Amino acid sequence: MKNKRNLFLITLIIPILFLLSMTWKPLWTLNAGTTVVLETIPVDPRDILYGDYVRLQFAVEEFKEDVIEPALLKDLKTQSYGKVTVYAVLQQEGDVYGLKSVTAVKPGGGVFLKGQMYRYGGSINGAETIYYADFLPDRFYVPENTGGQLEDLSRQGSLIAKMKVYNGYSILQDIQPK
């Protein structure tokens, strides 16, 4: 009888512990993370199924070859397919953070973002290649009937995003006009 009760308690506790462990990383980031303000660039979203939201793209997610670490750049140009885990090292430029470098090696300190980047071919017709990596959340949900003004500001590139960053992990907290 006692074994059945213990087994029942264990089967009850394990799922609860699992669910609680899923909240650890976001809660730790909110508590111990660095507050970062980033500039957005224009995007025009259209999707009626998700409710009111603003689609975001960040300036640190588009970059040229000059900020990519040489070893990573060589890897991107020699391999023609697949994803690469990359890190964006950020530096503060006034009130806003900007991109200092992109590397495949996790930085030992400072403020950085972890993301994914696809390998793809070189430039078209000799034009400089613009690289893109996905570091940050791309949607910010807003209360009903309040997204129109923010979408207009987003299309103009006039939004900044406030977020917490800890050990490469980020949580988007708020967006506001520049």
pLDDT per residue as tens, the chain (178 positions) = 678 888 888 888 999 988 888 888 888 888 888 888 777 765 545 556 666 677 778 888 888 888 889 888 888 777 666 788 899 999 998 888 999 999 999 998 889 999 998 766 555 555 677 888 888 877 777 776 666 777 777 777 788 888 899 988 888 888 888 8
pLDDT at 44: 46
What pLDDT, on the 0 to 100 scale, is given for residue 57? 80
Count of alpha carbons within 13 angstroms of residue 92, beta-carbon side: 8
pLDDT value of position 73: 83
15-32 per-residue burial string, b: 16 or more CB within 10 A, e: under 16: eeeeeeeeeeeeeebeee
- pTM metric for this prediction: 0.71
